[in-house]
A and B are shown apart, each in its own frame.
Chain A
Amino acid sequence: MTTEITQKDLIDFVYAEARMLDEQRFEDWLSLFTEDGYYWMPLAPGQDDPKLHTSLLYEDKLLLKIRVERLTGQRTFSQQPMSRSHHLLQLPTVESADPAAGVYTVRAAFHYVETRLDQQALYAGWSTHTLVEQDGQLKIRLKRVDLVNCDAAFGNIQLFM
């Protein structure tokens, strides 16, 4: 009983995911990942190795869960008050689709704003989602976020792009 995944489904998924983050529905967001899913923010342009070259983030579901739980911790002082975020996405494009295997990649250019207290920072880049079909639902196996200035010196980046 598989339903066909359309281009619109894939695009809507990426929009909905960004909205979840901006609405701080982090538990829901975590559930979008497969159990072996990863969130990756490379440190170098075009980086192809997440293990023998360091990254800003290369986190499995356990680490993402720690991150999400920490955000609301009573003694998480760097999130008192909490940061807020805003994603502005360009229309995502489906880069590849393999319905037989149930694997799709979708790319979206973005501007991302993260703000806390009186500070606001703007980041720009591209996200690439590797989405897989599991039990009739799309899940994230890999979300890769390439910042246009990934090798620049940043202050705190506390939420998710």
Chain B
Amino acid sequence: MSKYRGNPEAVRSLVRDLEVHKDVYVDPEVFDLEMEHLFANTWVYVGHASQVPNKGDYYTTTIGRESVVMVRHTDGSIKVLYNRCPHKGVKVAGGTCGNTGKFFRCPYHAWTFKTDGSLLSIPLKKGYENTGFEGCEGKNGMAVVPEVREYREFVFCKLNPGGISFEDFFGESLSTIDNMIDRSPEGRLEVAGGVLRYMHNCNWKMLVDNQTDTCHPMVAHESSAGTAVKVWNEAPEGTPKPMAVELFAPFMSPYEFFEGMGIRIWENGHGHTGVADSIHAAYSPVPGYWDQLVAAYGEERASKILGDTRHNTVYFPNIMIKGPIQTLRLFKPIAVDKTLVESWTFRLVGAPDMLLERTLMYNRLINAPTSVVGHDDLEMYERAQEGLKSRGMEWTNVARLFDPAEKDQKNVTTNGTNEWQMRNQFRAWARFMTESM
């Protein structure tokens, strides 16, 4: 018997003001419902337009559990199609990316489809005449994801038609994407440097929760960032501070630093740490970059762009963006206890290579399966995934700095160690989980 399926009240009761039920992380039925409802009712990140610059370029990925292909159509627009042949269900687009020309051709029986999904041809088509084929689901070709929005080259989609609009869903939160793009003197980003793929044996939401969890770095990362600071302190005086130390050291900032840096809460589960300050604020200037920005934007605006050093921005449900370090992390749910973390990086088009070099160093030091910081975190997630199976307690806790008045507020800034953003995520979770039940 289903505990949660068809029972929106039971799903809603998993989220309390101060607590979240363990089933949210460990129950396979809740996971299935997330894939069916949460990932269909929200605007989910697909990819970046620079991954498909030319007509016929495609990139395959998943939205929740759905295999999709993002493709540059012959009219120049970007389409998102379910990657499934209407004939026998074969994934039509193979591999991760490529160019398919003017049409997709299924490798099994050579059914072909235009890059908007519509059926182009079937071999021996006569065999379908007078069979009633035109009444079949597959007559139109590959299924199209109806709601696709490209925001300054960031492509999002929503699997369920209707519901919340793109603008209402994201509201003011798009300012983080704006800031990352504005950091390019040409106002343009390109996916660059390869993607790090890191398999986690834990629920995807543990990673999302962690992004605005500012009470863990100085504890969980004492082993990595703390050791980095210690080893660096042994270097002879006058040794220039290496880039790696500059990237590691701020993780060891004290609680007061994280309290002071602040968290901004938007609606629908979006929010970011690092309002007044952040661990990315004190990086060394890159020669030539400032002059490029001043030439592009003028001194005042350039200063404003670089002064906005947001730490982690969560776009609910499953991405995090770091504007100052040009990184996008995608938390892909695979099973209730399995998540693929993809860490993507961007080149600021027109900016010095040194910025990309720093971004890539950050990415491999922090987000790689070989990263010591990653090891610290994954150990905690995997312990939590095991620990939460305990029948000793039912709830996890998100009470830190709770204020009953917070519930109707949005676009506000609060203490950087507040768990408000996690509560914000779970309120959004309960809403979009049950919206289509």
**Chain A window 68-94, contacts with chain B (Cβ cutoff 8 Å), 1 for yes, 0 for no:** 011001011111000000000000000
> Does any Cβ of A come within 8 Å of B348's Cβ?
no
Query: CB-CB < 8 A to A51: which residues of B?
Result: 353, 357, 360
Given the known inter-chain contacts A51-B357, A73-B227, A78-B375, please indicate yes or no for A56 contacting B194, CB distance below 8 A.
Answer: no
> Is B364 at the interface (CB under 8 A from chain A)?
yes
Does the CB pair B364–A157 fall under 8 Å?
no
Asked whether B228 lies within 8 Å of A66 as measured between CB atoms, the reply is: yes
A121 → B minimal CB distance (Å): 10
Contact B379 A66 (CB under 8 A): no
Q: Give Cα distance in the complex from A116 to B275, angstroms.
A: 40
**Chain A residues in 8 Å Cβ range of B224:** 66, 70
Complex: how many Å from CA A157 to CA B197?
A: 12
Check if B197 sits within 8 Å of A62, measured CB to CB.
Answer: no
Contact A54 B223 (CB under 8 A): no
Residues from chain B with Cβ under 8 Å of A63 in the complex? 244, 365
Say if the beta carbon of B413 comes within 8 Å of chain A.
no
A83 vs B222: C-alpha distance when bound (angstroms): 19
With both beta carbons as reference points, the residue of chain A lying nearest to B245 in the complex is identified as A62
Q: Does A67 contact B (CB under 8 A)?
A: yes
A153 touches B (CB below 8 Å): yes
Collect the chain B residues with CB atoms within 8 Å of residue A56's CB: 196, 364, 368-370
Q: In chain B, residues 323-370, which have Cβ atoms closer than 8 Å to a Cβ of chain A?
A: 340, 345, 353, 356-357, 360-361, 363-365, 368-370
Q: Is A152 positioned at the interface, with any CB of B under 8 Å from its CB?
A: yes
A77-B201 contact, Cβ under 8 Å, with A53-B360, A55-B364, A69-B231: no
Which has the most chain A C-beta neighbours within 10 Å: B356, B368, B378?
B368
A46 to B296 Cα, complex, angstroms: 37
- Rounded to whole Å, the gap between the CB of B59 and the closest CB of chain A is 15
**Contact, CB under 8 Å: B360 / A54:** yes
A76 to B222, CA, bound (A): 8
User: Cβ of A75 and Cβ of B222 under 8 Å apart?
Assistant: yes
Say if the beta carbon of A113 comes within 8 Å of chain B.
no
Q: Are B369 and A157 in contact (CB under 8 A)?
A: yes
Kindly list chain B residues whose C-beta atoms are within 8 Å of the C-beta of A67.
372
Question: Of the candidates A69, A76, A78, A153, which one forms a contact with B230 in the assembled complex, judged by CB atoms under 8 Å apart?
Answer: A69
Task: Tally B residues with Cβ within 8 Å of A.
Answer: 44
Are A75 and B223 in contact, CB atoms less than 8 angstroms apart? Answer: yes
The reply on B376 being an interface residue by CB < 8 A is yes
- Residue A35 at the chain B interface, CB threshold 8 Å: no
Q: Interface residue count for A (Cβ, 8 Å)?
A: 33
Q: Which residues of B contact A62 (CB under 8 A)?
A: 231-232, 235, 242, 244-245
CA distance A57 to B244 in the complex (A): 12
Taking CB atoms and an 8 Å cut-off, the chain B residues in 281-311 that contact chain A are: none
Q: Does the CB pair B369–A54 fall under 8 Å? A: no
A153 contacts B231, CB within 8 Å?
no
List residues of chain A with CB within 8 A of the CB of B369.
Answer: 56, 153-157
Q: Which residues of B contact A158 (CB under 8 A)?
A: 375
User: Which B76-123 residues sit within 8 Å CB-CB of chain A?
Assistant: none
Query: Which residue of the partner chain A has the closest CB to B200?
Result: A155
Task: Tell me whether A153 and B360 are in contact in the complex, defined as CB-CB below 8 angstroms, given that A52-B353, A66-B231 are known contacts.
Answer: no
- Closest chain A residue to B379 by CB distance? A78
Given known A53-B193, A53-B194, A78-B378, contact A155–B227 (CB-CB < 8 A): no
CB neighbours (8 Å) of B368 from chain A are: 54, 56-57
Q: Is the CB of A65 within 8 A of B375?
A: no
| Chain B neighbourhood of A132, CB < 8 A | none
Are A156 and B375 in touch, CB under 8 angstroms?
yes
From B232, which residue of chain A is reached at the shortest CB distance?
Answer: A62
With a CB–CB cut-off of 8 A, which chain B residues contact A27? Answer: none
- Determine the chain B residues whose CB is within 8 A of the CB of A155 once the complex forms: 198-201, 369, 378
Does A29 have its Cβ within 8 Å of any Cβ on chain B? no
Cβ-based interface call for B374 (8 A): yes
5 residue pairs of the A-B complex, CB under 8 angstroms, read A54-B345, A62-B242, A77-B376, A155-B198, A156-B378
Given contacts A54-B363, A60-B244, A77-B376, 8 further A-B contacts (CB under 8 A): A44-B194, A51-B357, A54-B364, A56-B370, A60-B242, A66-B228, A78-B378, A155-B198
